[in-house]
Amino acid sequence: MAIPAGGMGGLTSPYVFALVSFAMAAPLVADLRRSRLFALFASWFVTWTALLAAASLTHPAIARQWSDDPALTLYLGQWLFLALTYVAGMEATREIAALRRELREARRLAGYRLQARLGAGGMNEVWLAWDDAHERDVALKILHDRPSEAVARRFEREAEALRALSSPHTVRVLDFGASDDGVRFLAMERLVGIDLERLVREGGPMPPARAVHLARQACSSLGEAHRAGIVHRDVKPSNLFLSMGERGDHLTVIDFGIARRVDAPEPRLTAIGDAIGTPHFIAPESLLGDDSDARGDLYGLGATLYFLLTGTRPFEGLTGLALVGAVSGSTPDPPSSRAPAVSPALDAVVLRCLAAAPADRFPDMAALDAALAALDLAWTHDDAATCHARSDRPSPRPGLHDDLTRPERRPSARPGLRVASDRPPPRDP
C-alpha cells in the first residue's frame, strides 16, 4: 500500500485515509471491546507510519515530506481527525447495540417477552414469545391496535372456545387477557411439525390409511367442540397441524378464530351473505350466507380428507359463482378417480361428508369417526416414523422467520419452527 501511496502524494495522500477508513469500518460494526478497538487503531497508525518510513528509502519525495513541517502537520492532523471520527463511530456503534438490546427487553406484553413474529393476518399477529413466569415458549396471538367491536368480540370468542376444550388434538390455550395499555393477547402452546396443506403440497397425496388416521384425530377434537356447542367454521388442511408424537402421527386442530357457539344467541359479526371460512372447504349453506351448524365442519373435514387423498380440492379450478354453483348443486368426482388407492368404501365416506344438503351428511363427528374406523385401515407408529424420515420436514407456517436472541435460560429451539410444549402424550383416537 505504501508504494501506491508514494506515487499519490505520500504523507498527504488521500488514498491513505480512504483505505484506512474503509478497513477500520468492519471492527466498528463487530461491536468489539473498547480496548480491542483502540489497539486496532494504534496498530493501523504504527504500521502505516512504518511503511511510509520504509518507502522513503526508495521514494525521495516521501523522504522530503518527513522534513517538511506542513506535510508532516497535515499527516498527523489527518490521523487525529481519523482518530476522533473513529472514537465517535465506536461510541455510536456501541450505543446502537445497547438500544437493540433494550428494545428486545422492552418488547414485552403482560409477562411475555416477544422474540420473533411468526405471522400476521388481517386482525392479528402471532409471535414466538417467552413466558417468564413458567419459563416456556408460547405462541402469542396479539390483536391489532384499535380493533372494531366485532373483531375484539371474535378474538375473545376464540379464547373462550379454546379454554372450554381439553382434547389432546385441540391446541391448548395457556393464557388470555389484555396488557396494561389494552392490547389483547392469547397465549397458546407451541407445536413442532407441519400443517397438512404444506405437507401435501410438498410431498404429494398421502396413503389412505394415514389420511384416515389423521381425520379420526380431527373428529376427536371437533367432536368435543361440537358437544360444547362450538363450531369451528374453518376446517381446512392448513388448520390441521401434524407432529410426531410418542405414538406416531399426532394431529392438532388450530385456529378457532372464527368459531362460534351454537347454544347461545349472539350478534352477527359478519354481513349477511358473507361467507365465513376458506371457499373450497366451506359448506354450501355457508357459501350462500346462512349460518352453519356442526355439519358445516363435517363438510370441511370431508373436503380436507379429499385433499389429503388426492392432492387436489373437490372442485379444483373453480372460483366465485362457479364454485358456489358446483358446491351447492353437484357432487365432486370421487377421490378414487384421482387416487386409485382409495377404496369404494372410503369414496362413499368422503362423498357423504361433501353432500350439498346438511341432512345428507353424517349426523355428527362420532358417526363419521365410526365410519372411518369401520374401514379397518391400520396406520402404525412405524408407518408414521417411516414417512417422517422420508419426507416430512418440521416446517413453519408461512412467515415464520426473523429469529432473535433468546434468554439464556430458555430451552433451545430451531429458528422458525413450532416448538414442542409440555402437553401430555397424545392418545390414539
Catalytic (active site) residue 383: no
- Cβ distance 127 to 107 under 8 Å? no
What pLDDT score was predicted for residue 262?
A: 60
pLDDT, one tens digit per residue, over 241-281 is: 999 877 789 999 998 866 666 655 444 444 333 445 578 89
Residues 23, 52 within the same domain: yes
Q: What's the rounded mean pLDDT across residues 394-408?
A: 34
Residue 143 cell numbers, joined:
390483536
Identify residue 100 by its one-letter amino acid code.
R
Q: Which is higher by pLDDT, 154 or 3?
A: 154
Residue 396 lies in a domain: no
Identify residue 257 by its one-letter amino acid code.
G
Q: Which is higher by pLDDT, 1 or 138?
A: 138
What pLDDT score was predicted for residue 263?
A: 57
pLDDT band at 29 (very low <50, low <70, confident <90, very high): low
Residues 169, 252 within the same domain: no
Q: What percent of the chain has pLDDT over 90?
A: 31
Residue 6 lies in a domain: yes
Residue 355 lies in a domain: yes
Identify residue 249 by its one-letter amino acid code.
D
What pLDDT score was predicted for residue 8?
A: 56
Residues 68, 217 within the same domain: no
Q: What's the rounded mean pLDDT across residues 12-22?
A: 64
pLDDT band at 167 (very low <50, low <70, confident <90, very high): very high
Residue 170 in this model has a pLDDT that exceeds 50? yes
| 181: containing domain | 108-188
What are the residues whose beta carbons fall under 8 Å from the beta carbon of 286, sequence distance 6 or more?
Answer: 233, 275, 276, 277, 292, 296
Residue 137 cell numbers, joined:
415458549
What pLDDT score was predicted for residue 421?
A: 39
Residues 92, 22 within the same domain: yes
Q: Which is higher by pLDDT, 326 or 291?
A: 326
Residue 419 lies in a domain: no
Q: Could you report how far apart the first and last alpha carbons of the chain are, in Å?
A: 74
- Cβ distance 214 to 240 under 8 Å? yes
pLDDT, one tens digit per residue, over 310-333 is: 999 998 887 788 888 888 888 899
Instruction: State the pairing for strand pair 184-188/230-231.
Output: unpaired
What pLDDT score was predicted for residue 44?
A: 76
Residue 428 lies in a domain: no
At residue 138, φ and ψ (nearest 5 deg) are: -140, 160
Residues 82, 120 within the same domain: no
Residues 215, 119 within the same domain: no
Residue 80 lies in a domain: yes
What pLDDT score was predicted for residue 249?
A: 94
CA 95/CA 101 separation, integer angstroms: 10
With b for 16 or more beta-carbon neighbours within 10 A and e for fewer, the 72-95 pattern comes to: eeebeebbeebeeebeebbeebbe
Residues 35, 113 within the same domain: no
What pLDDT score was predicted for residue 416?
A: 33
Q: What is the pTM of this model?
A: 0.65
Residue 322 lies in a domain: yes
Residues 176, 95 within the same domain: no
Q: What is the 3-state secondary structure (H, E, C) of the chain?
A: CHHHHHHCCHHHCHHHHHHHHHHHHHHHHCCCCHHHHHHHHHHHHHHHHHHHHHHCCCCHHHHHHCCCHHHHHHHHHHHHHHHHHHHHHHHHHHHHHHHHHHHHHHCEECCEEEEEEEEECCCEEEEEEEECCCCEEEEEEEECCCCCHHHHHHHHHHHHHHHCCCCCCECCEEEEEECCCCCEEEEECCCCCEEHHHHHHHHCCCCHHHHHHHHHHHHHHHHHHHHCCEECCCCCHHHEEEEEECCEEEEEECCCCCCEECCCCCCCCCCCCCCCCCHHHCCHHHHCCCCCCHHHHHHHHHHHHHHHHHCCCCCCCCCHHHHHHHHHHCCCCCHHHCCCCCCHHHHHHHHHHCCCCHHHCCCCHHHHHHHHHHCCCCCCHHHHHHHHHHCCCCCCCCCCCCCCCCCCCCCCCCCCCCCCCCCCCCCCC
From 137, 195, 234, 347, active-site residue: 234
Widest CA span of the chain, in angstroms?
104
Residue 217 in this model has a pLDDT that exceeds 60? yes
Residue 225 cell numbers, joined:
367442540
Residue 411 in this model has a pLDDT that exceeds 50? no
Residue 1 in this model has a pLDDT that exceeds 60? no
Single out the residue in 91, 106, 121 at which a domain terminates. 106
Q: What percent of the chain has pLDDT over 70?
A: 74
Closest C-alpha to 417, from 396, 399, 402, 403: 396
Strand partners, 141: 126, 186
Single out the residue in 79, 106, 133 at which a domain terminates. 106
Q: Which is higher by pLDDT, 150 or 198?
A: 198
Residue 202 lies in a domain: yes
Count CB-CB contacts under 10 A for residue 345.
Answer: 13
Residue 428 in this model has a pLDDT that exceeds 50? no
What pLDDT score was predicted for residue 195?
A: 92
Q: Which of 67-81, 84-98, 159-173 has the lowest mean pLDDT?
A: 84-98
What pLDDT score was predicted for residue 405?
A: 27
Which class for 62: exposed (0-12), middle (13-18), buried (19 or more C-beta within 10 A)? buried
Q: Which of 100-114, 171-185, 349-363, 396-410 has the lowest mean pLDDT?
A: 396-410
Q: Which is higher by pLDDT, 77 or 337?
A: 337
**Residue 323's domain is classified under what CATH number?**
1.10.510.10
Residues 83, 115 within the same domain: no
pLDDT, one tens digit per residue, over 342-386 is: 999 999 999 999 999 999 999 999 999 999 999 999 999 899 888
What pLDDT score was predicted for residue 269?
A: 41
Residues 81, 139 within the same domain: no
pLDDT band at 239 (very low <50, low <70, confident <90, very high): very high
Residues 202, 303 within the same domain: yes
Question: What domain count does the chain have?
Answer: 3
Q: Which of 40-54, 225-239, 254-268 has the lowest mean pLDDT?
A: 254-268
**Residue 128's domain is classified under what CATH number?**
3.30.200.20
Q: Which is higher by pLDDT, 233 or 309?
A: 309
- Cβ distance 52 to 44 under 8 Å? no
Single out the residue in 106, 139, 157 at which a domain terminates. 106
pLDDT band at 406 (very low <50, low <70, confident <90, very high): very low
Strand order in the sheet with 194-195: 194-195, 240-245, 248-253
Residues 94, 122 within the same domain: no
pLDDT, one tens digit per residue, over 116-166 is: 888 776 677 888 999 989 999 999 988 876 677 777 777 787 787 788 888
Q: What's the rounded mean pLDDT across residues 94-121?
A: 73
* Angle at 105 (CA atoms; ends 113, 155), nearest 5 degrees: 30
CA 165/CA 170 separation, integer angstroms: 7
Which class for 119: exposed (0-12), middle (13-18), buried (19 or more C-beta within 10 A)? middle
CA 138/CA 175 separation, integer angstroms: 10
* Average pLDDT taken over every residue of the chain: 78
